[in-house]
Amino acid sequence: MKPRKLSLHIDVDAFIPATDQDKAYLVKMRSSSTFFKDGMKRLLKNKVALVSIIVILVVVLGCIFIPMFWPYKYDQMLGVTAGAAVDSSYANLAPFQYGATEKALIEQGTKVFPHIFGTDAAGRDYFIRVVYGTRISLGVGFFASLIVLVLGMLVGSIAGYCGGKVDMVLMRIVDVIYSLPDTLMIILLASVLKQTLGAAIEKTIFAKMGSNMLSLFIVFGALYWVSMARLIRGQILSLKEQEYVLSAQASGAKAGWIIRKHMLPNCISVIIISTALQIPSAIFTESYLSFLGLGVNAPMPSLGSLASDALNGISSYTYRLVIPALIISIIVLSLNLFGDGLRDAFDPKLNA
């Protein structure tokens, strides 16, 4: 029977049971992949990124857990005991050497925990200071990036979403801050905050952190958010034109909702990647400031201040300089490589 285009007759052929061959087309050969799964697969294939994340994890876990069981403290001067004269045999020990009282203990047969990297001029175990310094440098890098992320996201999404005059004003502010020479301004701010903050934060929870570290965060927050804000604004501007945003607006969604539910999830990969790449640059700046003596408060160590302290004894104790220097370089290098890997895996567009 020849079917007529407009007839209501049912085409019987359409109801013939499917053959096995037809059914084979519908069998799922593999489970469907999500964006995240795809990205992870690409990331796992990237050997360089994989090695870097392992290095980062080892360093992070090491500087979290080692201080828990290490028998020495970072600010413990081994030669100093209450009520006794300072035992100078503990100062400037070479690696795996022991102080006078420790030698006596060893002769009695007691086991003494070795000073793997020796001790510094004040008789403090250098290994634990390096571990602590790494902890502080990583912590500063991480939290500074978090501050940058939050500020940049706030300003960027408001500017991008509101547009018009708000965007104009915010972006001009961003332009001005962006064109300031950042390192000079950071040094200036840090050197002033170092003088002023101490009194201001006394008896608050910030006092424990030390005025210098707080000023580091303020400085990062004040200057580094601008490029993040620019990036997020650009993303939001392009997403704003999408139809689903129009549809949400038409059904009466408020601005905050649209930003939270539609905009941010869609630019999340770009945000995460640039935050990951922000961490090494924050570590870089922190160690730079510590090197100039504007970093964390003594006796707290950071990798930069350790390197800076080691500069005085460079001819006799070169290893004390090389160790923190190497650790900073390894951390920054592996974070950068991992960030690049993340970018390649999750945002192939950016790499164009």
Partner 1 sequence: MNPKTVSYILKRILMAIFTIWVVITVTFFIMHAVPGGPFLGEKAISESAQRALEAKYGLDKPLFEQYLTYLSDIVLHFDFGPSLKQRGREVIDIITDGMKTSVKLGLIAAVIALICGTVLGSVAAIRRNKTIDKVIMVITTAFVSMPSFIMGTLLLAFFAVKLHLFPANGSTASGMVLPVVTLSLYPMAYITRLTRSSMLDVLGQDYIRTAKAKGVSGWAIIFKHALKNSLIPVITYCGPMIAGIVTGSLVVEQIFAVPGIGRAFVNSITNRDYPLIMGTTIVLAILIVVMNLVSDIMYKVVDPRISFD
The residues binding partner 1 (CB under 8 A) are: 175-176, 179-181, 183-185, 187-189, 191-192, 195-196, 199, 280, 284, 287-288, 291-294, 304, 307-308, 310-311, 314-315, 318, 321-322, 325, 328-329, 332-333, 336-337
The CB-of-333 to partner 1 minimum distance in angstroms stands at 4
Is 142 or 288 the residue whose CB approaches partner 1 more closely? 288
Q: Which residue has the tokens 């960027």?
A: 156
Is 99 or 324 the residue whose CB approaches partner 1 more closely? 324
| Cα dist from 50 to 38, 55, 56, 171, 279, whole Å | 16, 9, 10, 38, 18
CB of 228 closer than 8 Å to CB of 156: yes
Is 237 or 325 the residue whose CB approaches partner 1 more closely? 325
The CB-of-170 to partner 1 minimum distance in angstroms stands at 16
The CB-of-218 to partner 1 minimum distance in angstroms stands at 12
Is 119 or 305 the residue whose CB approaches partner 1 more closely? 305
The CB-of-328 to partner 1 minimum distance in angstroms stands at 6
Question: How many whole angstroms separate alpha carbon 102 and alpha carbon 204?
Answer: 40
Q: Phi and psi dihedrals of 297, rounded to 5?
A: -75, 140
Q: Is the backbone peptide bond immediately before 299 cis, with ω within 30 degrees of 0?
A: yes
Closest CA to 226 of 151, 161, 279: 151
Tokens matching residue 210: 């030390």
The CB-of-332 to partner 1 minimum distance in angstroms stands at 5
Is 77 or 219 the residue whose CB approaches partner 1 more closely? 219
Query: Which amino acid belongs to residue 257?
Result: W
The CB-of-339 to partner 1 minimum distance in angstroms stands at 11
Is 125 or 286 the residue whose CB approaches partner 1 more closely? 286
Helix (H) or strand (E) holding 266: helix 264-291
**Any bridge partners for residue 119, and if so which?**
125
Q: What count of other Cβ atoms lies within 10 Å of the Cβ of residue 183?
A: 12
The CB-of-128 to partner 1 minimum distance in angstroms stands at 21
Is 249 or 336 the residue whose CB approaches partner 1 more closely? 336
Query: Which amino acid belongs to residue 316?
Result: S
Q: Which residue has the tokens 């510590």?
A: 290
3 state DSSP class of 119: strand
